[in-house]
Structure 1
Amino acid sequence: MPDRDLLGDSLAEEKIRVSVLAIAERELGVREKTGKNDGERVEHYLKYIGLPKGHAWCGAYTSWVYGQAGLSKPRTGWTPALFPANRLTRKPKPADLFGIYFPSLKRIAHTGFVVSIKSDWALTTEGNTNIEGGREGDGVYKKRRHLRTIAKFANWIGKENKR
């Protein structure tokens, strides 16, 4: 019955992916209170990973969303930690993470969720960004990013990552 197990795992994974994106998209429209990484929802994301208000929160947002979907990991705001070698993928699926590398910081410094990939573009949902797509933004937005701007993708969804 291994085929049935594979099918069951695949369906369970798909259900988690749908849940992650539904949770992420319910947060669209969240905005910082004063533009200083603060506000009720932003502080809630930060608290989830053990940080006070005032910290960059794109990683906190993704960790919180995964947690709400029943995943135990990741639970960090440090964006480079969201892209360990054992989680990297070259074929991103919906609800995987994308990471943008900032040469001035010499690291991945912004992340969010892949909603879909079409041609050379990724449709994303991400926190701590803005209309222009910056990493120090003011809210949760849906964005369209060219794949050339994305350095890495990470898959945190799998049976080994359930509570």
Structure 2
Amino acid sequence: MRVRIIEIATAEIGVREATGNNDGERVEVYLAYTGLGKGHAWCAAFVSWCYAQAGFPEPRNAWSPALFPNARTYCRGNACRDSKTSVRIKPADVFGIYGYGAKRINHVGLVQGIEPNYILTVEGNVENRVLAKRRHLSTINAFSNWIE
């Protein structure tokens, strides 16, 4: 199932917003899955949509913090940088980045792979598109597992 979620997500790499205003045909499909229309931030909607395409009813939320309930979250803050935690990180886990201006997790994406001190990701609503990135563990505020 993890592989399938990542296959679905990577097939979306390159999807772009139409005008840079959280809009466009595919972006609006992700948002619609969570009950929203164009114009809303869509990183969490993208993650939710990817899970749905693989047959998972959850998560189904466009609000980034909602993807980190206590029952699903296995680390927060500095604990995510600990070597004991890094061995738990798996493809298709959800990562969260804390926005100090928002005072909450305000960006999420999917773990595609793991390297020493880094995760490889697939995420939506970055540079107005879906893309793959390499992020240092020090930038991650939380990880959640929606599969087990």
What is the TM-score normalised by the length of structure 1? 0.82
Which is greater in Rg?
Answer: 1
Q: How does 1:9-88 map onto structure 2 within 5 Å?
A: 16-88=1-73
Structure 1 equivalent of residue 140 of structure 2: 150
Structure 1 position 117 matched with structure 2 position 107:
no
Structure 1 position 101 matched with structure 2 position 98:
yes
| Cα distance in structure 2, aligned partners of 1:36 and 1:103 | 22
Q: Which has the higher strand share?
A: 2
Structure 2 equivalent of residue 161 of structure 1: none
Q: Which has the higher helix share?
A: 1
Greater RCO, CA 8 A, separation 6+: 2
| Cα distance in structure 1, aligned partners of 2:137 and 2:112 | 13
Alignment root-mean-square deviation, CA: 0.7
Show CA shifts across 1:89-134 (max 9, x none): 242110000000011111000000001111111100000002xxxx
Show CA shifts across 1:2-48 (max 9, x none): xxxxxxxxxxxxxx101000000000000000000000000000000
Runs of at least 5 residues in structure 1 that lack an aligned partner in the other structure = 1-15, 131-137, 159-163
Tell me the secondary structure at the aligned position of residue 71 of structure 2: helix
Bigger mean CA offset, 85-94 vs 75-84? 85-94
Instruction: Return structure 1 stretches of 4+ with deviation > 4 angstroms.
Output: none
Q: How does 1:132-147 map onto structure 2 within 5 Å?
A: 138-147=128-137
Structure 2 equivalent of residue 12 of structure 1: none
Q: Alpha-carbon deviation of 1:146?
A: 0.5
| Cα distance in structure 2, aligned partners of 1:40 and 1:103 | 31
Q: Which amino acid aligns with 1:142?
A: A
| Cα distance in structure 2, aligned partners of 1:118 and 1:46 | 31
Tell me the secondary structure at the aligned position of residue 135 of structure 2: strand
| Cα distance in structure 2, aligned partners of 1:151 and 1:85 | 14
What is the TM-score normalised by the length of structure 2? 0.90
